[in-house]
A and B are shown apart, each in its own frame.
Chain A
Amino acid sequence: MPRPITIAVFAAAIGLWWLASHSGWVSAFLLPSPTTVAETTGELLASGELLRHSLVSLRRVALGYVLAIALAVPLALLFVLSRPLRAALEPLLEFLRQIPPLALMPLLMLWLGIGETQKIGIIILSCFFPIFLGVRGGFAAVDRKLIDVGTVCGFSRAEMMLRIVLPSALPAIVVGLRVGLGYSWRALVGAELIASSAGLGYMIVDAENLARTDIVLAGILVIGGLGLLADHLLRFAIRRAAPWLAGDLEMARA
């Protein structure tokens, strides 16, 4: 449950918003009041439109995120295991990492069209590096002193991996996963703003063209809410699976 202070801060922000639009400080067109936005959200829910766009967006994030994990984790493990591979590919990856995925949008649209493949491609590109670097960093930072303990216990390579290296690497991996999830959500909305026919980003851009700022705001709030929800679910899952990581989770805010 959120703490009282959290609720109070949210309430204050909404109160300020209400005051700004009702007192006439800001035109009701530029900033529709919270009540208008709430009504619009209600209508969008009732018509099923909000649910449809949300599901399209969520499906894209889920697919992109899972595919990014499926690519980044094995590649990171190969990097951990093979020094020559690391030496050969590291500079190229470092170069690619500097390029914001949205800068690749024009090319991706030419290569992959403007359908689902392109959206999911953007998501994969944007959450690949946090996950990849998290896994790599986690394995690279394993404490030699803990490895000594395993050696003294006569551990085999497999035991060393499962009982010392993997649990040691887990905090960094978890941080990578959590940062990656945030990135993927943001990149998705960006991709949907530019070229698409469904999804929350599309809903916002479409509403903007129709001068419906209330729908724009409703879309923004849903995006924020769903992102928060996804992050909470991930944290909950991690807390259940690895309670000792609770402290490390707080580093992962990005």
Chain B
Amino acid sequence: MLELANIGRRYRVDGAEVTALADVTLDFPPGSFTTVVGRSGCGKTTLLRVLAGLETPSEGEIRRSEDGPPRIGVVFQEARLMPWLDVRGNVGFGLRGRLPQATIEQRCADTLALVGLADFARAMPSQLSGGMAQRVAIARALVLEPQLLLLDEPFAALDAFTRRSMQNELVAIWQRRSPTIVFVTHDVEEAVLLGERVLEMQSGRVVGHETLDLPHPRDPTAPEANLHRRRILARLMQAPSSAPAGPA
């Protein structure tokens, strides 16, 4: 179990204090799939960075029930590949030195096949399109076989077709390996398509949530899905949109 208790995060920007997260209390049961939606600057990326251990909360507590540090895979908005490593080197980046080389090779090859880039193992990042680079970044997170998989608008840069197949692939991986997933997006349709639970964020706070009891694969145009979408959108549109806080 992963729990956040009264988490707050404040920044100083040019002497002014900006609140990116305020009083966030959440739990993420093992194997759960949570999506987080909200406008740019609502604090959803900061929430993800706190979960990833990239930011220390200004107040509150993170509690993990597992022993030892959890295996965390993170996919950022941009691919963030190492330009000096080829695709294989980038996918195996977090494993190198921690597993036998042969195991890493095998896992990287399998994961590259999974994201449809088996033929590009030797390519350099500068040779990849934006969508391909992002798929390499996704492979880099998946290859760790993470217990906690954190994704920050990972499919935003992909074309609609690739996005759809990556979304299906993500659900398949979740069903097969059941990592705990937290998926940040500004796209309500995507949030409803993927999550078991959708959290709505506004001005650094979690202002609402929606539990989705729909089987996968989901049809985003099905009446039940549309009902959820309409409810989430209505709440997000109606709440005050002032005070964008923190980086998007």
Q: Are A and B genuine complex partners?
A: yes
A157 to B: closest C-beta gap in Å: 15
B127 to A: closest C-beta gap in Å: 11
The CA of A95 and the CA of B87, in the complex, are separated in Å by 45
Q: In residues 57-76 of chain B, which contact A (Cβ within 8 Å)?
A: 69, 72-74, 76
Given known contacts A164-B82, A170-B84, A244-B84, is B69 in contact with A149 (CB within 8 Å)?
Answer: no
Q: In residues 103-144 of chain B, which contact A (Cβ within 8 Å)?
A: 124, 126
Residues of B within 8 A of A148 (CB): 54, 74, 76, 80
Residues of A within 8 A of B126 (CB): 244, 247
Q: Is A56 in contact with chain B by the CB < 8 A criterion?
A: no
Chain A positions 85 through 105: 1 when the CB is less than 8 Å from some CB of chain B, otherwise 0: 000000000000000000000
The CA of A146 and the CA of B54, in the complex, are separated in Å by 12
The CA of A44 and the CA of B96, in the complex, are separated in Å by 57
Known: A145-B78, A151-B54, A244-B124. 14 other contacts (CB 8 A): A145-B76, A148-B54, A148-B76, A148-B80, A149-B93, A151-B52, A152-B54, A152-B73, A152-B94, A163-B96, A167-B82, A167-B84, A170-B84, A242-B84
Residues of B within 8 A of A242 (CB): 84
The CA of A154 and the CA of B96, in the complex, are separated in Å by 12
> How many residues of B are in contact with the other chain, CB < 8 A?
19
Check if B124 sits within 8 Å of A152, measured CB to CB. Answer: no
Write the chain A residue with the least CB distance to B137.
Answer: A149
Check if B82 sits within 8 Å of A152, measured CB to CB. Answer: no
Check if A153 sits within 8 Å of B53, measured CB to CB. Answer: no
Write the chain B residue with the least CB distance to A149.
Answer: B80
Given known contacts A146-B82, A167-B82, A244-B83, is B76 in contact with A153 (CB within 8 Å)?
Answer: no
Check if B69 sits within 8 Å of A154, measured CB to CB. Answer: yes
The CA of A149 and the CA of B94, in the complex, are separated in Å by 9
A159 to B: closest C-beta gap in Å: 8
The CA of A145 and the CA of B76, in the complex, are separated in Å by 9
Write the chain A residue with the least CB distance to B124.
Answer: A244
The CA of A220 and the CA of B54, in the complex, are separated in Å by 58
Q: In residues 150-204 of chain A, which contact B (Cβ within 8 Å)?
A: 151-154, 159, 163-164, 167, 170
Write the chain B residue with the least CB distance to A145.
Answer: B80
Check if B72 sits within 8 Å of A152, measured CB to CB. Answer: yes
Residues of A within 8 A of B78 (CB): 145
Write the chain A residue with the least CB distance to B90.
Answer: A149
Check if A152 sits within 8 Å of B93, measured CB to CB. Answer: no
Residues of A within 8 A of B84 (CB): 167, 170, 242, 244-245
Residues of B within 8 A of A145 (CB): 76, 78, 80
Residues of B within 8 A of A149 (CB): 74, 76, 80, 82, 93
Residues of A within 8 A of B69 (CB): 154
19 A-B pairs with C-beta separation under 8 A: A145-B78, A145-B80, A146-B80, A148-B74, A149-B76, A149-B80, A149-B82, A149-B93, A151-B52, A152-B52, A152-B54, A152-B73, A163-B93, A163-B96, A164-B82, A167-B84, A242-B84, A244-B83, A247-B126
Residues of B within 8 A of A164 (CB): 82
6 closest Cβ pairs, A-B complex: A153-B94, A152-B74, A167-B84, A244-B84, A145-B80, A149-B80
Write the chain A residue with the least CB distance to B75.
Answer: A152
Write the chain A residue with the least CB distance to B74.
Answer: A152
The CA of A167 and the CA of B89, in the complex, are separated in Å by 13
Write the chain A residue with the least CB distance to B150.
Answer: A152
The CA of A167 and the CA of B83, in the complex, are separated in Å by 9
Residues of A within 8 A of B76 (CB): 145, 148-149
The CA of A149 and the CA of B52, in the complex, are separated in Å by 10
Residues of B within 8 A of A151 (CB): 52-54
A168 to B: closest C-beta gap in Å: 8
The CA of A159 and the CA of B82, in the complex, are separated in Å by 14
A238 to B: closest C-beta gap in Å: 13
Chain B positions 36 through 65: 1 when the CB is less than 8 Å from some CB of chain A, otherwise 0: 000000000000000011100000000000
When the two chains form the complex, which single residue of A153, A245, A247 contacts B93, counting CB atoms closer than 8 Å?
A153
The CA of A51 and the CA of B80, in the complex, are separated in Å by 51
A150 to B: closest C-beta gap in Å: 9
Write the chain A residue with the least CB distance to B69.
Answer: A154
Write the chain B residue with the least CB distance to A244.
Answer: B84
Residues of B within 8 A of A170 (CB): 84
The CA of A242 and the CA of B84, in the complex, are separated in Å by 8
Residues of B within 8 A of A146 (CB): 80, 82
A26 to B: closest C-beta gap in Å: 49
Write the chain A residue with the least CB distance to B71.
Answer: A154
